[in-house]
A = this chain, B = another copy of it.
């Protein structure tokens, strides 16, 4: 059995949707047990709306709630008994093996980093996301934890992404690329040029720079970028799909023939939506902290929550963190490579 703590009060539609997603996960996956953390009355009321297989969900009290707009560090220090803090404490005390929260992202990053600490050799955590492409799933890191990563930190992200792609996406020798404004080694900022050198000399399967146009084509398995550009790209791509659908719908409705055509296309479009939907990807792993933590979109649906809990359990089952530690000791962490050159 894998025990996962779920932040019952985190997210735009908490606790209703979070509890519903947790129930689906508990019922659908026989290897899972869930500790639902939050205000017991609210959680029980939601749980009573569903049938749960015996003993698969237990409630753990937390009296406070971190709001979506709360300042991360203040939230951790002032709301010690928040559902988020209690989840992380449970993980730290090994009462659970992983945590899933759809709440305040900054607070989840700060609480995980401060309470769990970082894996040996890792200097900053990074948020990774699964990217649906024309050729399966790729992984991109970082999408918002670290706005100004150093070359060493970007190299560490590359190692973590490579391990994740091997363990979770089951890729044999994942390819790694830097997101840049041109493919040539001479392109981009000084930080990227230095990172390029470190990656080129590393044992990773580094294939060079990719441009924005290859983000969704599946050209590479692991896309490495700073948290600023990663965050903008992530939010933009979600919006661009929505904008495209809105534009298409507006245009199709102008004419009964195109409207009929749209109706006939529906099953195919639904299939694409499933393939590319963030709900299926199931949350973003916070890599580099000493314990499996999944951060989900604040607007997550019950299905997205269920899948995020599944991914969290997969992080546990495939021992991603142990593999990252092994990766760092095997490949170096970027700074040890530089030090060994100067010594």
Contact surface of A with B, Cβ cutoff 8 Å: 133-134, 144, 147-148, 179, 181, 188-189, 211-217, 227-229, 231-241, 243-244, 246-248, 251-252, 254-255, 257-258, 260-269, 271-272, 275-276
Contacts and interface: CB of A to CB of B under 8 A. Distances in A.
A266 B261 CA distance: 9
B264 A257 contact: yes
Contact of A217 (B133, B243, B268): B243
A196 B52 CA distance: 50
Nearest to A147: B189
Contact of A148 (B189, B258, B262): B189
Contacts of A214: 239
Given A144-B181, A232-B181, A233-B212, A265 B252 contact: yes
Contacts of A248: 268-269, 272
Given A229-B232, A231-B212, A233-B236, A268 B243 contact: no
Contact of A189 (B228, B255, B268, B271): B228
A6 B108 CA distance: 54
Contacts of A267: 255, 258
Contacts of A246: 134
Given A134-B246, A261-B264, A216 B232 contact: no
B233 A232 contact: yes
Contacts of A235: 211-213
Contacts of A211: 231-232, 235
Nearest to A264: B261
7 contacts: A212-B232, A216-B236, A228-B229, A233-B233, A247-B272, A251-B269, A258-B264
Nearest to A214: B239
A258 B261 CA distance: 8
A79 to B, nearest CB: 19
A211 B234 CA distance: 10
A234 to B, nearest CB: 7
B239 A236 contact: no
Contacts of A231: 181, 211-212
Nearest to A211: B235
Contact of A240 (B227, B237, B272): B237
A262 to B, nearest CB: 6
User: Could you say which of A133, A179, A229 has the most chain B C-beta atoms within 10 Å of its C-beta?
Assistant: A229
Given A214-B239, A251-B268, A258-B267, 10 more contacts: A144-B181, A213-B238, A217-B239, A236-B236, A247-B272, A248-B268, A260-B261, A261-B261, A261-B262, A261-B263
A243 B133 contact: yes
A234 B247 contact: no
A181 B236 contact: no
- Counting from the closest, the 9 A-B pairs by CB-CB distance are A261-B264, A212-B235, A212-B236, A213-B239, A261-B265, A212-B232, A251-B268, A258-B268, A213-B235
Nearest to A192: B228
Nearest to A106: B182
B134 A243 contact: yes
